[in-house]
Chain A
């Protein structure tokens, strides 16, 4: 006699699978299909051939640029973030809490605001550039191109490394440090051989995260890259059409982008698998006093770095209160920029962002909770397949998500282009993998016997799920959801392909104002965006009550 293995949950599995096939697999397949045809509908390798063989590596060069600047950004972010995390975790730094909160703020801000602010500071007519040339006659090196992208992205992504590494350092048991000292390994040697070696899985995870985000970043290279074209920018241009839109070629570029991120992803998994061990500190490391000259240097480093990363945002907020006429700054301060912004769809942008963001968030949370439950509690071939499919967007740059959705739903019978629906779908797809990870991690920490206790007390499976499982996951889900909210609010790379005047978001409005050269209005939009993300993060820190930020 066999007990039933399948129950109500099979319907949930099937429903989820259908959703993923419709909104993810079919668009991706469509993208692949499109890349294999020419504009006359003939099956061909032409698009890929053009990419690889076009004169002087016209298309290969942006790819090289992207890889170069992304690798550089990843390395610099690690080099900046790891020492910061080390000082923060092993020494008593004054105002450590402030450092922490400001770091998260920096990493969560809209990607291109930093770039824009740096242009305003160090660009051709930037404040610092002008100041230096007027005062000292010094000519600043150009901020545009490789150096600028590296600067902006490193300053944006090192806080990610910092947050990741804090988690790893916190799990190092103090007895390991003492044992190491006991055997004569201290100081810098211990840092390398014990602390960093133990943190290797986290370092690799942080590196992957930075690589993926930096590679897919569209706003930064667009604003500060100028002649230094990167891959996402090229996809966008190919789609919008400098010299005639070519969707087939854009699709081919998107396929190449996915292949590259997939290779990096697999390589990282392979590298991580070589460092398989788990730690859980019973005796967390006690923070030492940061004394003497070393202590001063540590404080200088921490505050200098975080301050540098935070400066662009403060500068933008400052500018938003300056008087402008067109893009020319006038003496005096006021709310003129905000009044101007109000005429430029400010209200609609805020409303749209709120409505679409909340809708996306609700869908994300529901799907993430269901998938986490299916994978952790009802592991089966079907459910693991769903889980794997749901992770696909992790390796899809935003521009690729946007493009594939547009190709799939841009024409009849769907014709969703420019609607709220397609924006919400893209938000959900973009953010789902992260929320699923955090929901899964939360559920794994809940012992199944708690659900069994509920069932043996006569509660049905549905009631157990609603009254026991979900409430226990609530904290983890909620904190994950707030981070998703921030990411949705600042989403640019897919929105720029999918938005319309009707479904414009706050981030899109900011970006458009920057492109139009309305510095004052742009600053006002950016300031509002920064305030929204800041408030969300404050809420997050209140809810999560801990320093374990899961990104």
Chain B
């Protein structure tokens, strides 16, 4: 069985120090849901409140329609995978995996069958009788996953499970985790600070900052139409520049400090008035033009880095601001530092925010966050 998780008005504080002021969240049955945010944003705290290892100072936590606030962690039927694997070092792989089953009234045969099944699923069956100290980090994490899945939990929780692995294993293990989750279909809550990892595995992502959920949405939506400036800068890279929105005869014009003007056709009606704005342009949304006579923002190339598929340019704008541009590498034309160029903006993809950065002014933002 898999559960829907509902969190209403969650409050977490240590003494007078409020970590999570008032958090609401709906996690759908069977989905792969990720809590993403910088360290200290409260994502692990929230996960441990769901697991029952942190006290809940206020609000309600439900699995389906059951209130779990005061339910013993041992009775929540949760599978949890920890950052440091938390494998019992004094037990063999088999003993580790079957540990959860032994706490239930199951026959020996049932336990063995179930343990074998999940050890095989995670490809650790050949190490069944080894002690964990003789396993690599990746293998230990597979054992941890087998152990968590073995009890057929209603909810699967991951607390930065890949951060102790090296880069290559990280990519391999995240695919393993995603595939397994798809096959068993258990509601999964996954905590990470690595946005690429979050994008790769999640059905939906909640971006958190300072205990507040900023944006809940699909990876695509969060990347392309971030709900506010924080989300836009935390997910992927962004060039943030001050600009103005000028409304002339019903047309919205984006005006840069250097005087470059371009029309925006997707501004929300309530924001359609002349005002200062903040513009967030991803490096691939800036287009580079070597023709200095063309329309655009004047800039000087300061440095370029060739990375194979892509070439990164670091430029200084006329206004003195720095910007980064990514272009697909071409055979002949690396632009030398010192070259004067013009930049134009891909208006379909660029995001603009109110001057305080608190809201995206464009249509197409999908934010499931109840806040």
B192-232 residues at the A interface, CB under 8 angstroms? none
In the bound complex, residues from chain B placing their C-beta under 8 Å from that of A468 are: 88
Asked if B345 is at the interface of the complex by the 8 Å CB criterion, the answer is no
Is the beta-carbon distance between A457 and B86 smaller than 8 angstroms?
Answer: no
Chain A residue contacts of B60, Cβ below 8 A: 1
> Chain B residues near A4 (CB, 8 Å)?
70
Known contacts A454-B88, A456-B79, A1 near B58 by CB under 8 Å: yes
| Stretch of A108-116, A458-466, A490-498, A508-516 lying at the B interface | A458-466
Considering the complex, which residues of chain B in the window 3-54 have a beta carbon less than 8 Å from any beta carbon of chain A? 51-53
Does residue B300 face the partner (Cβ distance < 8 Å to A)?
Answer: no
Q: List 9 A-B contacts (CB under 8 A).
A: A3-B55, A5-B55, A456-B52, A456-B78, A457-B100, A457-B103, A459-B103, A460-B74, A472-B88
Cβ of B55 and Cβ of A2 under 8 Å apart? yes
Pairwise interchain contact A453-B86, C-beta atoms closer than 8 A: yes
A160: min CB distance to chain B, Å: 31
Q: Which residues of A contact B (CB under 8 A)?
A: 1-5, 447, 449-450, 452-461, 463, 468, 471-472, 474
- With A458-B103, A458-B151 as given contacts, are A449 and B51 in contact (CB-CB < 8 Å)? no
Chain B residues in the interface with A (C-beta under 8 A): 51-53, 55-58, 60, 69-70, 73-80, 82-84, 86-90, 99-100, 103-104, 144, 147-148, 151, 157, 159
* Across-interface contacts of B89 in A (CB, < 8 A): 472
Instruction: Find chain A residues with CB under 8 A from B148 CB.
Output: 456-457
A453 to B157, CA, bound (A): 11
Distance between B357 CB and nearest chain A CB, rounded to angstroms: 35
Residues of A contacting B82 with CB < 8 Å?
447, 449, 452-453
Q: How far is the CA of A2 from the CA of B56 in the complex (A)?
A: 6
| Minimum CB distance partner of A1 in chain B | B69
Partner among A2, A463, A471, A474 whose Cβ is within 8 Å of the Cβ of B103: A463
> How far is B91's CA from A450's CA once the two chains are assembled, in angstroms?
12
Residues of A within 8 A of B147 (CB): 453, 457
Closest to B147 in A: A457
Contact B69 A457 (CB under 8 A): no
Minimum distance in angstroms from A428 CB to a CB of chain B: 28
How many Å from the CB of B3 to the closest CB on chain A? 15
- How far apart are the CA atoms of A474 and B89 in the complex, in Å? 12
Closest 8 CB pairs of A and B: A457-B100, A458-B103, A453-B86, A449-B82, A3-B55, A449-B86, A456-B80, A450-B86
Interface contact B56-A455, CB-CB below 8 Å: no
Residues of chain B with a CB closer than 8 A to A457's CB: 74, 99-100, 103, 147-148, 151
Known: A453-B80, A455-B52, A472-B88. 16 other contacts (CB 8 A): A1-B56, A1-B58, A1-B70, A3-B56, A3-B69, A3-B70, A449-B84, A450-B87, A450-B88, A452-B51, A452-B86, A455-B74, A456-B80, A460-B74, A461-B74, A472-B90
Cβ–Cβ contact B100 & A458, under 8 A:
yes
Interface-central residue, A454, A455, A457, by most chain B CB under 10 Å: A457
A453 to B58, CA, bound (A): 25
| A460: B residues at CB distance < 8 A | 74, 103
With both chains docked as a complex, state the minimum distance between the C-beta of A231 and any C-beta of chain B, in angstroms: 46
Residues on B with C-beta less than 8 A from A3 are 55-56, 69-70
- A contact residues around B53 at 8 Å (CB): 452, 455
* Distance of A1 Cα from B8 Cα, bound (Å): 13
Contact assessment for B103 and A449 in the assembled complex, using a CB-CB cutoff below 8 Å: no
A4, A454, A474: most-surrounded residue (chain B CB, <10 A): A454
Contact A459 to B57, CB < 8 A, known contacts A449-B82, A452-B86, A453-B80 = no
Q: Given the complex, which residues of B lie within 8 Å of A1, measured CB to CB?
A: 56, 58, 60, 69-70
Smallest CB gap from A463: residue in B: B103
**Inside 8 A of A458's CB, which chain B residues have their CB?**
74-75, 77, 100, 103-104, 151
What's the least CB distance linking B141 to chain A, in Å? Answer: 13
Say whether chain B's binding surface is mostly helix, strand, loop, or mixed: loop
CB contacts (< 8 Å) of B70 on chain A: these are: 1, 3-4
B99 CB to nearest chain A CB (Å): 5
Most B C-beta atoms less than 10 A away, residue of A3, A5, A456, A458: A456
Contact between A447 and B84, CB atoms less than 8 A apart: yes
A452 vs B159: C-alpha distance in the bound complex, in angstroms? 12
Residues B56 and A459 in contact, CB atoms below 8 Å apart: no
Chain A residue nearest in CB terms to B99: A457
Chain B contacts for A2, CB-based, 8 A = 55, 57
Q: Would you call A456 and B74 a contact (CB within 8 A)?
A: yes
A4 to B71, CA, bound (A): 11
In Å, the complex CA distance between A539 and B311 comes to 65
Q: Quote the shortest CB–CB distance from A282 to chain B (angstroms).
A: 16
Q: Which residues of B contact A472 (CB under 8 A)?
A: 88-90
Q: Smallest CB–CB gap between A401 and chain B, Å?
A: 36
How far is the CB of B240 from the nearest CB of chain A, in Å? Answer: 38
B241 to chain A, nearest CB (A): 43
Contacts of A450 in B (CB 8 A): 86-88
Smallest CB-CB separation from B103: which chain A residue? A458
Q: How far is the CB of B51 from chain A (nearest CB, A)?
A: 6
Cα(A230)–Cα(B6), bound, Å: 72
Closest to A471 in B: B90
| B103: A residues at CB distance < 8 A | 457-460, 463
Q: Closest approach, in angstroms, between the C-beta of A119 and any C-beta of chain B?
A: 49
What CA separation (Å) do A453 and B69 show in the bound complex? 19
Q: How far is it, in angstroms, between the C-alpha of A496 and the C-alpha of B301 when the chains are bound?
A: 87
Nearest-Cβ distance from residue A456 to partner chain B, whole angstroms: 4
> How far, in whole Å, are A519 and B132 apart by their CA atoms in the complex?
56
The residue in chain B whose Cβ has the minimal distance to the Cβ of A459 is: B103
List of A residues within 8 angstroms of B83 by Cβ = 449
Beta-carbon nearest neighbor of A458 in chain B: B103
A453: which B residues are within 8 A, CB to CB?
A: 80, 82, 86, 88, 144, 147
Residues in B whose Cβ lies below 8 Å from that of A447: 82, 84, 86
State the Cβ distance, B276 to closest chain A Cβ, in Å: 45
Q: A3-B69, A3-B70, A447-B86 are in contact. Are A454 and B55 (CB under 8 A)?
A: no
Neighbouring B residues of A463 by C-beta, 8 Å:
103
Cα(A468)–Cα(B82), bound, Å: 16
Contacts of A456 in B (CB 8 A): 51-52, 73-74, 76, 78-80, 148, 157
How far, in whole Å, are A29 and B73 apart by their CA atoms in the complex? Answer: 44
- Which chain A residue lies CB-closest to B79? A456
B residues near A452, Cβ cutoff 8 Å: 51, 53, 73, 80, 82, 86
Please indicate the chain B residues that have their CB under 8 angstroms from the CB of A454 in the complex. 88, 99
A430 to chain B minimum Cβ distance, whole angstroms, is 31
B89: min CB distance to chain A, Å: 7
> Within the complex, what minimum Cβ distance (angstroms) separates B79 from chain A?
7
| Most chain B beta-carbon contacts within 10 A, residue among A453, A454, A461, A472 | A453
Residue of A2, A452, A459, A471 contacting most chain B CB atoms (<10 Å):
A452
Cα(A468)–Cα(B103), bound, Å: 13
Are the CB atoms of B86 and A459 closer together than 8 Å?
no
